[in-house]
Chain A
Amino acid sequence: MMPENAVQSAKDTILKVEDLRIEFRIGRKWYAATRNVDFELKADETLALVGESGCGKSITCRAILGLVDEPGSRTRGSINFKGQELVGLPDRKFQHIRGKDLAMIFQEPMTALNPVMRVGEQISEAITSHMQVSGAEARRRTLELMESVRIPAPEQRYRDYPHQFSGGMRQRVVIAMALACQPSVLLADEPTTALDVTIQAQVLSELRELRERNQMSVIFITHSMGVVAAVADRVAVMYAGEVVEVAEVETVFKEPRHPYTQALLASIPSVESDKEDLQVIPGQVPSIVDFPEACRFAERCPHVMPRCRQEAPPRFQVGSTEVRCWLYESENGETGQ
């Protein structure tokens, strides 16, 4: 009984996002940049959030950290983190969660660091913001962190400024900052996109190692299916601000359910295939001001039915996959809105 229980609790849900709706005011009207964003993150797993540019992956991540609070924006729905509701949490309380239990790595290492502050100070700031430690202790831990993300000669590099670092090294600094307080959830927003391919592979494998060592759960944002295959346990596919499919990583590649996921996989160029032309998805992503009320993919979908243009599809359960598409209505098993 006991071991089974332990396994059970290890797979507990640590973060649950339900019907997340991030809205922006343009003129006098509110427009939903995301809606129907539902996914769960379990302990010790990596969930990949996949979609093309502008599909709402990054803003979803920022919303989880409570960083979408500019005037003219509002967040609805629910983000439950270890039993605490994060939507509507006042900034002062959020400040104690950010960087401590929930940390984030950003896409652009070139701009994510403060250019006039020493790198070591920027890392140790992540420590001193959450822990009562002496300056010397913060420094010691910073050097440890720098070593753990493989920054050579940390003692010397501590006093350097970001412009003295290469892109890959800067991203390691950003990762060190994120890991400073051993967070239980790491949000990684395309952390390797801005890097060279070889550095990319290095950073990916190091991230995987760090995840295992620190027993973190990771939400990994990417637009690359190759990266998904390399890092993810489960995948949430986003299109035009909605999560359209959530499934285990093998299932997604073997049996993609949503027509968008299918098209996305078909558009990956393959070395083996003889085809000269790249497969593309016809049409364009609608802009935020004319997102349709019904299915947002309908206009580009090869299987479109009249119903798709009238009503937004709810979530259907197909095997272990959750998918928002009317095609699966007959298979039944609606799981929610």
Chain B
Amino acid sequence: MLRYVTIKLSYAMVTLFAVMLLVFMLARVIPGDPAQLMLGDQASQSAIDSLRERLGLDQPLYLQFLDFLTGLAQGDWGTSLYTREPVLNSILEVLPYTLELTAASLLFGAVVGIPFGIWAALHRNRFIDYATRIGSLLGLSFPAFVSGIMLLLVFGIWLGWFPVLSTARGGSFEDRLLSLALPTVNLGILMAAYIARMTRSSMLAVLGEDYVQTARAKGVARHLIIRRHALRNAIIPVVTVIGLYVGILIGNSVLTEIVFNRPGIGKLIVGSMNQRDYPMLQGLMVLYTLLVILVNLATDLVYGLLDPRVKYQ
């Protein structure tokens, strides 16, 4: 197991390095001089030159990259052009909101998606199967801003069960939970839809495997065949897919955060794009990369725990 973890960890480091290089290069290939962009059209040449020097843009590229990496490692992610705040501070301030929303949506997706997927697979081509398939198709096709507004309309305004505007920072635990509910469902529907489809098809494939027939031939009770033999195998690809979709989930949180007016990374990204806040965007790219790599690493580790064959390859 230790060997497996070490291998996966070194892969993650390589990926991280590659993406950092990409992010760094991207900032350098955008047309126009960054100093010029930062200071605007009216700036004098001397002001531009001094900023170039201050930013280290007169250095050779590999030195700039090294600076960039050490800066990241030391927590110096640059300064926002708009707020003049350190980028890392602004990100860390809103990151918990996004993580909270993502984790809750993931949980919602798994809790709803996995049982429905199993249920549909066990009743293939019967009512519950069609219902699950149509439901997941709807879940996949509804844009987040449409479903978000519908949720707000029904549960926020007509029924009044949940707050329409998210509670501002702080507030009691209960308030926060209540204001998290609708965004979670909105973002989680997509996840539930993906997971349900994946679980269903994975389960169907596994139910046709020889070892399920062996278990039946042994006289194992049906519920044990489903739990011990089918589900334990079927869940492995589902976990992988969940891992892959966490990245998409973080990306999708943009729309949900805007519709529900929640603070978060999504809102920060949109704001920075409108304001052409390049250091902030670069920092967000770095963060996004870090998150995706971490999730992939976690997925690989869980995979290694679930499937005994993996460790030995």
Residue pairs across A and B with Cβ atoms less than 8 A apart, 16 shown, are A71-B124, A71-B125, A97-B219, A100-B219, A103-B218, A106-B214, A111-B211, A113-B211, A114-B214, A115-B309, A117-B229, A117-B232, A126-B218, A129-B220, A161-B308, A163-B312
Q: Which B residues lie within 8 Å of A164 (CB)?
A: 312
Q: Which A residues lie within 8 Å of B213 (CB)?
A: 62, 67, 106, 112
7 nearest CB pairs, A to B: A99-B219, A99-B218, A111-B210, A98-B219, A114-B211, A126-B218, A104-B217
Q: Is the CB of A129 within 8 A of B211?
A: no
Task: Digitize B115-156: 1 where CB-to-A-CB distance is under 8 Å, 0 elsewhere.
Answer: 000000000110000000000000000000000000000000
Closest Cβ of chain A to B126, distance in Å, is 10
A62 to B214, CA, bound (A): 11
A113 to B215, CA, bound (A): 9
Q: Which of A35-76 contact B (CB under 8 A)?
A: 62, 65, 67, 71
A-B contacts at CB below 8 angstroms, number = 88
A283 to B7, CA, bound (A): 56
Contact of B307 among A98, A116, A178 (CB under 8 A): A116
Q: Is the CB of A114 within 8 A of B222?
A: no
Q: Which B residues lie within 8 Å of A180 (CB)?
A: 218
Nearest residue (CB) in B for A109 is: B210
Nearest residue (CB) in A for B233 is: A116
Q: Is the CB of A67 within 8 A of B217?
A: yes
A99 to B218, CA, bound (A): 4
> With A67-B213, A71-B125, A106-B210 as given contacts, are A115 and B221 in contact (CB-CB < 8 Å)?
no
B33 at the interface (CB under 8 A from A): no
Closest Cβ of chain A to B216, distance in Å, is 6
Q: Which of A76-110 contact B (CB under 8 A)?
A: 91, 95-100, 103-104, 106, 108
Which of A103, A115, A180 counts the most B-chain CB atoms under 10 A from its CB? A115
Which of A117, A164, A174 counts the most B-chain CB atoms under 10 A from its CB? A117
A130 at the interface (CB under 8 A from B): yes
> With A114-B233, A117-B232 as given contacts, are A103 and B306 in contact (CB-CB < 8 Å)?
no
Task: Digitize A140-155: 1 where CB-to-B-CB distance is under 8 Å, 0 elsewhere.
Answer: 0000000000000000
Interface size for B (C-beta < 8 A) is 26
Contact of B219 among A95, A112, A163 (CB under 8 A): A95
Q: Is the CB of A65 within 8 A of B222?
A: no
Task: Digitize A16-32: 1 where CB-to-B-CB distance is under 8 Å, 0 elsewhere.
Answer: 00000000000000000
Q: Is the CB of A95 within 8 A of B221?
A: yes
- Which residues of A are at the interface with B, using a C-beta cutoff of 8 A? 62, 65, 67, 71, 91, 95-100, 103-104, 106, 108, 111-117, 125-126, 129-130, 161, 163-164, 174, 177-178, 180
Q: Is the CB of A161 within 8 A of B217?
A: no
Q: Is the CB of B216 within 8 A of A126?
A: no
Q: Is the CB of A125 within 8 A of B220?
A: yes
Q: Which B residues lie within 8 Å of A103 (CB)?
A: 217-218
B93 at the interface (CB under 8 A from A): no
Q: Is the CB of A115 within 8 A of B219?
A: no
Q: Which B residues lie within 8 Å of A129 (CB)?
A: 218-221, 224
Q: Is the CB of A115 within 8 A of B218?
A: no
Closest Cβ of chain A to B107, distance in Å, is 24
Closest Cβ of chain A to B301, distance in Å, is 16
Nearest residue (CB) in B for A181 is: B219
Nearest residue (CB) in B for A104 is: B217
A161 to B308, CA, bound (A): 7
Closest Cβ of chain B to A319, distance in Å, is 36
Closest Cβ of chain B to A216, distance in Å, is 15
Q: Which B residues lie within 8 Å of A100 (CB)?
A: 219
Q: Is the CB of A67 within 8 A of B220?
A: no
Q: Which A residues lie within 8 Å of B210 (CB)?
A: 106, 108, 111-112
Task: Digitize B292-313: 1 where CB-to-A-CB distance is under 8 Å, 0 elsewhere.
Answer: 0000000000000011110010
Contact of A161 among B124, B219, B236, B309 (CB under 8 A): B309
B276 at the interface (CB under 8 A from A): no
Nearest residue (CB) in A for B213 is: A67
Task: Digitize B198-234: 1 where CB-to-A-CB distance is under 8 Å, 0 elsewhere.
Answer: 0000000000011101111111111010001100110
Q: Which A residues lie within 8 Å of B220 (CB)?
A: 95, 99, 125-126, 129
A114 to B306, CA, bound (A): 13
Q: Which B residues lie within 8 Å of A177 (CB)?
A: 214, 218
Contact of A114 among B215, B236, B312 (CB under 8 A): B215
Closest Cβ of chain A to B87, distance in Å, is 44
Q: Which B residues lie within 8 Å of A161 (CB)?
A: 308-309
A116 to B206, CA, bound (A): 12
Q: Which B residues lie within 8 Å of A95 (CB)?
A: 219-222
A226 to B307, CA, bound (A): 40
A126 to B221, CA, bound (A): 11
Q: Is the CB of A113 within 8 A of B214?
A: yes
Closest Cβ of chain B to A74, distance in Å, is 17
Contact of A112 among B211, B309, B312 (CB under 8 A): B211
Q: Is the CB of B221 within 8 A of A117?
A: no
Closest Cβ of chain B to A287, distance in Å, is 22
Q: Is the CB of A114 within 8 A of B217?
A: no
Nearest residue (CB) in B for A114 is: B211
Q: Which of B164-217 contact A (CB under 8 A)?
A: 209-211, 213-217
